Structure 1
Amino acid sequence: MPDVRLLGPVEVRRIAADLGLRPTKQRGQNFVIDPNTVRRIVREAGLGADDVVLEVGPGLGSLTLALLEVAGSVTAIEVDPLLAARLPQTVAEQAPGAAARCRVVEADALRVREVPGPPPTALVANLPYNVAVPVLLHLLALLPSIAKGLVMVQAEVADRLAAHPGSKVYGVPSVKAAWYGEVRRAGAIGRNVFWPAPNVDSGLVAWERRDPPTTAVSREQVFAVVDAAFAQRRKALRGALREMAGSSGAAEAALRAAGIDPLARGESLELDAFVRLTEQLRPSGTTR
């Protein structure tokens, strides 16, 4: 194992003080100060020496250092120029033998269109909670080389991402995440491992990539149907899809052709049912 010294509470606060940094809620800045937590995240992610890891929002580098203990290399995307500029120094100080294996990209993860270096094989991150779902879906769509991953998000978001049909929290994020792979809840994280401590609980979500469930229709088309189905959760699908299909009758015909009860709601449909329905409707969707 490389000689890596992880960050604890003292080191995190020292680096923040050096930068004159005060964590802000606007950017979801809650820094992990517990070495055992970041090692747990890396362990749950199932990383190995062959993995090229993409990290989003590395912050002060707590998770970055733990990733460098195990993975072949890390590409860290950081939107804050102050943090992006400091991270290479922190890696050089705490893990001098691993500095060459860490690449820092100053960018907004929601807007990146390519990631420099070798294609990433895994996504592991403590995602900013206010943009966690769109960032995750954007990167999974952008980078098909990502075969697995684990992210820490707000507990409620973790529940939604890993939810199954029939659950009260099953919805758009659940279906869209399922398009990319098998998603599972991978544990809970206490508030006391962060500085400052957040006002919400945190959870881990892990997944393994699988092939798209269909080639007959596109991901964008399926996602457009998903968005329409959940736009008014209380409506039966016959009514929710009326505008997309052109009429309630056309929506009902498509639902019946797909083997779905026209009075069912979106929350009862698994991904494969949405795929069958899209094959009948064939909308021109463009959402992620």
Structure 2
Amino acid sequence: MTTEATTDTGAEPLISFQNVRQVFRLQGQRSGAGAPGRSREFVALDDVTVDIAPGQFVALVGASGCGKTTMLNMLAGLVTPSEGRVSLAGAPPRLPNMDIGYMFARDALLPWRTARKNVELPLETRGWDRARRRERAGEVLSLVGLEGRESQFRLQLSQGMRQRVALARTLAPDPSILLMDEPFAALDARTKLTLQAEFLRIWEQHQGSERRKTVVFVTHDLQEAVLLADRVIVMLPNPGRIAEDRVIDLPRPRAKALGEIQFTDEFKRTTHDLFERLEGAIGDRARPVES
């Protein structure tokens, strides 16, 4: 059974978007005389309100241009909303925030550094000494299944292994908030399922504990969102807005059974229901208003 999500989670929200609107001004092409072209506005987000409790796994799903990455960038302190309020633990996001880990769709590994040295990078920026960095990098590389690969360079690793290194790098400083921007999108189906299970295993190991990390996970894949998250927020583009906010009633832990869960009736019903909601919202938006 899926139910509509509510903001009353029994805990003060760690993350809050209140009536957020984001407008980007795009500069037009220059004219033949060299004068700047006329600028235009693009509304990336419109009246977005959502609260996320500490330790919750929330997936943002929707087409390109619906503002998912913009929301992550706001939480990271990279973008300030044009209107409304974004807060982390009651305060505006700041830059830099050492308690946030941000993982992208591409691994972004430095090719001249080994796997271990790539994982050590965020620890260097935090001032960890060499011995402590090396020990921690070894721990998280082992955690993601790359023990023995520490000295290999990017070109010596498969795409799946590179994403494991990127995940280890994100986890190394032990941030309490994880911002994940389509981290498994570039992988083949089998590797993607493996990495999903690895990540979920790491996240679920602190189930019921204050050490559980808060995850905001961006994806185009509705099935991935339902499979991994506690809540799925379906977003629509032009302008970016929330169409549906659902609690996912699938049992945890799930990491060891992701393959089986995808074939359960509950998973199929939930995914189909959200898909219909998404398609229905698009249809309602496109339908002309009767006079």
Fold in common (TM above 0.5)? no
TM-score by length of 1: 0.31
Q: Name the structure where strand makes up a greater proportion of residues.
A: 2
More helix by proportion, 1 or 2? 1
Higher relative contact order (CA 8 A, sep 6+): 2
